Amino acid sequence: MSRYAKITDNIDWGLLITTFAIIFIGLLCLYSSARVTNPTIFYKQILWVLVGSFVMVLVFIVDYRMLMHSAWPLYAFVVVTLVLVLVIGREISGARRWLSLGPMGIQPSELAKIIVILWMGYWGETKKHIKGYGIRELVVPVFFMVVPVVLILAEPDLGTASIVAFIALIMFLLLGIKHSTLIISSIVFISVMPFAWLSLKEYQRLRILSFFDPSRDPLGSGYHAMQSKIAVGSGGFIGKGFLEGTQTQLRFLPEHHTDFIFSVVAEEWGFMGSALVIVLYLILITKIISMGTKAKDRFGSMLCFGIAGYFTLHIFINIAMAIGIFPVVGVPLPFISYGGSFMLMNLICIGLILNISWRRFIF
Amino acid sequence: MNNNITGPQLDDELRWKAKILTVFVFVLFAVLLFRLMNMQIFKGSYYEGLSRNNRIRIVGISAPRGKILDRNQEVLADNRPAYNLMVMQGDISNIREVSKRLATYLDQDEDEIFEKIDQAKPRPYDPVTIARDISFHQMARVETEIFTLPGISIDATNERDYVFKDLASHTLGFLGEISKKELKKYNQDDYAIGDLIGKAGIEFTCEEKLRGVKGTRVFEVDALGRKIKVLDERPPVPGQDIMLTIDKRLQLIAKDSLRDRAGAVVAIVPDTGEILAMVSSPGYDPNMFLTPMAPEAWKQIIEDPLHPLENRAIRGQYPPGSVFKVGMVYAGLVSKTISPKETVFCPGEYTLGTSTYKCWKPTGHGEVDIMRAISESCDVYFYSLGEKLGIDQISQYASELGFGRPTGIEIRDELGGLVPTKEWKERRFGRPWQSGESIITAIGQGFTLVTPLQVAKSMSALVNGGKLYTPRILASGEANLEKVLDVSRADLDVIKMGLRMVVEGEHGTGRGIQDPMFSIGGKTGTAQVAKGYTSARADESDLPYKYRDHAWFFGFSPVDVPEILVVAVVEHGGHGGSIAAPVVNDVIKGYYFLKGMEDEQIRKDNG
């Protein structure tokens, strides 16, 4: 058997097909939603899919264990860009989240999500501990996770900071923490909360309250939430049909090509379409998780689990937001929302999974 | 260390974790599916109905802006009821036609209206203010046609009212429609197109507090965008009132005393830095910025040679003239360059190298000690002092007194004046500093520039025992002591005595405002604007306006423990002693008059 045949045999084709099925659906929705207002973004997105696929192949080729050795440089790179964005970032609506790279803009906080997973996987690999970690072992990694979270909070971007914090938390739980440590830290956290709350300024409290209660701010984000709910609900069982969505076509719903793209799916393809998308995501995620149990080392497993958590968080928050059970926080939907750096990140993740899956056969 | 986990142990651990993770994912996705099922299958027809004409509208209710009050709670900036014309872009089918009709009703430019409606496209169901504060007549015309104008509504709201018009215009500032740039800068939820925002003065400084929080109203509309019923309402939170340290009555006295002359008056409490009055003349009526201004009116304001929009109290940079000599006495005493006992002989001129510098009194002052130097403003004394100090020390001590940098008052765009140094001159002109320039700097001529507020700040420190306070205008603030000057009590007493003699001395340059009933100290200043022009008249009215000197005076009272310090500058007014001193005198007397009235009131109240 030739070497070529061996490579292709061991690729996880199911994962790849599921991914591109979701991307295809995403492109259809993007075409529909952007065709009136901004048709060029459809072609831009196709370009990003191509670029992303190319990078995905690159990521697949290089042995993922290399990443383990570059966990520190990658971590340092992310922290530097996060600091940089605070200093020279583009200011949009009072927040600095974007770094300009010529005509393009990148969000270092997007990169931070993946690097957090990588670094935690690396840390878990170097500090193996069967009974779970105690407080003494956790001080250092918790500090290194708090740094990017605080930097993203300073942009300010509460939504992304929470996601990064949550990914880090999932990684800690997956690596294993002693029961006693888990209980003690929960108690400390809960008992500190009231004091932290009292030490905040009045306007900061209001900001946090309006984050948790979308109806507190109906004119701004609440407007989107309301319109999105109408779009989703009016899709009914079979939907209004491709290019027939009135809510989204008539621009009642701004941001419908990024944060509210799911309402386009739901309005035009109805429950059938939205359920199909959710099932596809479910297949993708369960495949990634099962890959985690088969990886040949713990680093690979942790990467798989972390990426599964990363996708799950984004998908859940984004769809929950579109159907009005989560506040509007500006979290994109993987493989479907418009956005270059996000598409790139997602395809890099898939490349990593394929990499881990393929290399488990080489020993 | 051998703590590697391998083989079956690792597999078990991973499988267990994978299971938990999978359950977690399934639960989350099940929540989404159930909710979607509920919305799309069971409630689908309900949402379908809402979507058919997009029947839900959410509009903001503007919050009443906080008032601006003077120190006695008198309202300076109020709100009055007004009508705004609002547009819901999404309900308009033909923007061009609607703009045309509105243009005739409102007597406004059609293209401007078109552009405003067009701008609202990204958020079609957010109402946008097209015309603010329309007249009752205009409102009636639109209201009768309202049923043929879907998407147009009239909103009863509040409009800013600057009760005393141009009384404190530069301090209060003004509101204007939010610009595209500002819209981008601020949070999208706090402002919409057509909203007013503070552009200058206190309106700008305290924008966040004054603004309040918009309320919202959610209602259902019919196919033409007409209101059917209100579904939900959240009342607005009114903005906070802002209290100033200004006393409106004293402000009025100061403004009246300045009359229509260009200039500025600042009255300050030397012991706290509180501003009691701050006038910049000519002023303007801030009410006129609330509605879009006719281009001619705008042109008239910005082309006015007297620049009425400029706040001279904090942005007017003038040569200080002899007022600066007080700072020089401070520099001389602290650096021990001079002592109170030493005298300088003034023959009417001073020679340095081949140049001769004249005293303002051609016949000379004779033997001059520090008291006479201040009270009679003898130039020769200060030429000599300037030569001894040199520019390095002059600028060092001037900076200590707060010159050369903004005072830090809570009003935007303050200027810092100029304290020249050798390096500055080298940089600016590429030529080295000349010792003759130190000499004229010492009498407040040359390159030095100061603002009236800087004079108020620095002179306060010299009469209040050496405490340099940041001037402030918000009553909520606390006295901010920047630093305590490193100067002896005795030196400060000498300075104060000299300032007292300016007014009370037989030959004092400010003796014109002498009054046995009041204890006033101060210093005159006549800042030369153009060389070689002299006039026999106090107001120099025989000279072209632009060549006349700036008249300065600062005064404080009572001399021993000052309660008030007033600075006045009259641009091209002429002699400080006869032109600016009476203005200061009026304000100080006014201060005592008002205080007397209050005491009277208290006596009455106590029976």
pLDDT in tens, B20-62: 999 999 999 999 999 999 988 888 777 777 776 566 677 778 8
Task: Indicate the length of chain A as a whole number.
Answer: 363
Of B10, B29, B35, the CB nearest to A298: B10
Min Cα distance A210 → chain B (Å) is 12
Structure tokens at B183: 């819209």
Could you read off the pLDDT of B414-456 as tens digits, one per residue?
A: 999 999 999 999 999 999 999 899 999 999 999 999 999 999 9
Number of domains in chain B: 2
- Please give, rounded to a whole number of angstroms, the shortest distance from the CA of A62 to a CA of chain B: 25
- CB-based contact B245:B274 (threshold 8 Å): yes
> Burial level of A121, CB count in 10 A (0-12/13-18/19+)?
buried
Please provide the DSSP assignment of B80-101 as one string.
EEEEEEEE-GGG-S-HHHHHHH
Q: Is residue B35, in this structure, part of any structural domain at all? A: no
Looking at the structure, tell me whether residues B482 and B463 fall in a common domain: yes
Q: Which residue has the tokens 């500002």?
A: B182
Q: Which residues of chain A does B184 touch, with a Cβ-Cβ cutoff of 8 Å?
A: 92-93
Q: Is B381 helix (H, G, I), strand (E, B) or coil?
A: helix
Q: Which of B47, B189, B214 sits opposite A234 (nearest CB)?
A: B47
Task: Summarize pLDDT for A175-232 with one digit per residue, the tens.
Answer: 888 888 888 888 888 888 888 777 766 666 665 665 555 454 444 445 667 778 888 8
CB B359 within 8 A of CB B380: yes
> Which DSSP letter does residue B576 get?
I
Q: What per-residue confidence (pLDDT) applies to B77?
A: 94
Is B13 part of any domain? Answer: no
Parent domain of B227? 56-243
Using CA atoms, how far apart are residues A237 and B387, in angstroms rounded to an integer? 94
* Neighboring chain A residues of B214 at a CB cutoff of 8 Å: 219
Query: Tell me, what's the ipTM?
Result: 0.89
Whole-angstrom distance, CA of residue A296 vs CA of residue A283: 22
As beta bridge partners, residue B242 has: B68
Does residue B320 share a domain with residue B294?
yes
Residue B550 falls within a domain, yes or no?
Answer: yes
> Please, which residues 44-73 of chain A have a Cβ atom closer than 8 Å to chain B?
none
Check B21 against A237: CB less than 8 A apart: no
Tell me the pLDDT of chain B averaged across its residues: 88
Q: Nearest 5°: CA angle at B3, between A363 and B8?
A: 55
Using CA atoms in the order A129, A130, A134, A138, what is the torsion angle rounded to 10 degrees?
Answer: 40
The answer to whether position B26 is within a domain reads no
**A2 pLDDT higher than 60:** no
Which is more confidently placed, B223 or B462?
Answer: B462
d(C-alpha A301, C-alpha B17), whole Å: 10
Which residue, B218, B243, B268, sits at the end of a domain?
Answer: B243
CB contact under 8 A, B58 and A218: yes
Contact A234 B124 (CB under 8 A): no
Contact between B559 and B519 under an 8 Å Cβ cutoff? The reply is: yes
Q: At what angle do helices B489-504 and B452-463 cross, to 10 degrees?
A: 120
- Distance, first Cα to last Cα, chain B: 92
Q: Three-state DSSP class for B244? A: strand
Measured over the CA atoms of residue B182, residue B184, residue B186 and residue B191, the dihedral's sign is positive
Closest CA of chain A from B114, distance in Å? 19
The answer to whether residue B46 is domain-embedded is: no
**Is there a contact between B14 and A129 if contact means CB atoms under 8 Å apart?**
no
Boundary residue ending a domain (B243, B258, B278)? B243
Query: Are A232 and B47 a contacting pair at CB < 8 A?
Result: yes
Per-residue pLDDT band for A278 (boundaries 50, 70, 90) equals: very high
**Which residues of chain B are within 8 Å of residue A292 when distances are taken between CB atoms?**
14, 18
Q: Which CATH number goes with the domain that contains B347?
A: 3.40.710.10
- Rounded CA gap, A276 and A211, in Å? 30
Distances (CA, A) of B290 to A329, B82, B135, B155: 36, 12, 14, 16
Torsions phi, psi for B99 (to 5 deg): -60, -40
pLDDT for the residue numbered B117: 85
**Is B21 among the domain residues?**
no
Of B5, B31, B46, the CB nearest to A233: B46
- Say whether both B216 and B70 belong to one domain: yes
The CATH code of the domain that includes B95 is 3.90.1310.10
- Judge contact between B321 and B526, C-beta under 8 A: yes
Domain end (from B203, B218, B243): B243
Q: Which residues of B touch A281 (CB under 8 A)?
A: 29
Size of interface A-B (CB pairs under 8 A): 162
Please identify every residue of B annotated as catalytic.
322
Q: What is the pLDDT of residues A218-241, one digit of tens each?
A: 444 456 677 788 888 888 888 887
Instruction: Please write the tens of the pLDDT for every residue from B539-565.
Output: 778 888 888 899 999 999 999 999 999
Alpha helices in chain A (DSSP H): 3-9, 13-34, 40-61, 65-69, 71-88, 108-126, 135-153, 158-175, 179-199, 202-212, 221-234, 246-249, 261-294, 298-322, 340-359
> What is the reported pTM?
0.63
Q: Are residues B320 and B225 located together in one domain of the fold? A: no
φ, ψ of residue B448 to 5 degrees: the values are -60, 135
Q: Nearest C-alpha of chain A: how many angstroms from B189?
A: 5
Going by pLDDT thresholds of 50, 70 and 90, the confidence category of residue B3 is: very low
Q: What is the pLDDT of residues A91-148, one digit of tens each?
A: 765 667 777 766 666 788 888 999 999 999 888 888 776 667 887 888 888 899 999 9
Residue B371 falls inside a structural domain: yes
- The answer on B582 and B485 residing in a single domain is yes
**SS3 breakdown of chain B: % helix, strand, coil, rounded to 5?**
40, 20, 40
B384 and B335 belong to one structural domain: yes
Q: Are residues B252 and B237 in the same domain?
A: no
Q: B482 — phi, psi (to 5°)?
A: -75, -45
Domain ranges of chain A: 1-66+215-309+323-363, 70-199
